[in-house]
Amino acid sequence: MPVLLTDLFIPSVAEIAAISIDVWLLGENVDGQRLLVTTDICRKSISVQDLQPLMRIRFVKVGPICKNKYVRFIQNFSQCE
């Protein structure tokens, strides 16, 4: 069921280097839009208020990018399999 997106809050997370938020109503390749990208999520919270025009959406995709020390751990783990 579609909703109207007006506000968004993402608290800061020290383990994440960057984050992107994509939204869409029908399909990611049909009407997908990049709502925001930030590299300050490790230091600052993200607060978006009173989006204009209102966005009618059905799906939200959060794309976090972890800091290097966690990526190295995942790469080493996958080599062990």
Q: What are the tens digits of pLDDT across the range 12-55? A: 988 888 999 999 999 999 999 999 999 988 899 999 999 888 88
How many domains in the chain?
Answer: 1
- 23 CB-side CA count, 13 A: 14
pLDDT at 76: 44
Going by pLDDT thresholds of 50, 70 and 90, the confidence category of residue 69 is low
pLDDT at 65: 86
- Is the dihedral angle over the CA atoms 53, 62, 13, 39 positive or is it negative? negative
> Domain range for residue 12?
3-80
pLDDT at 57: 92
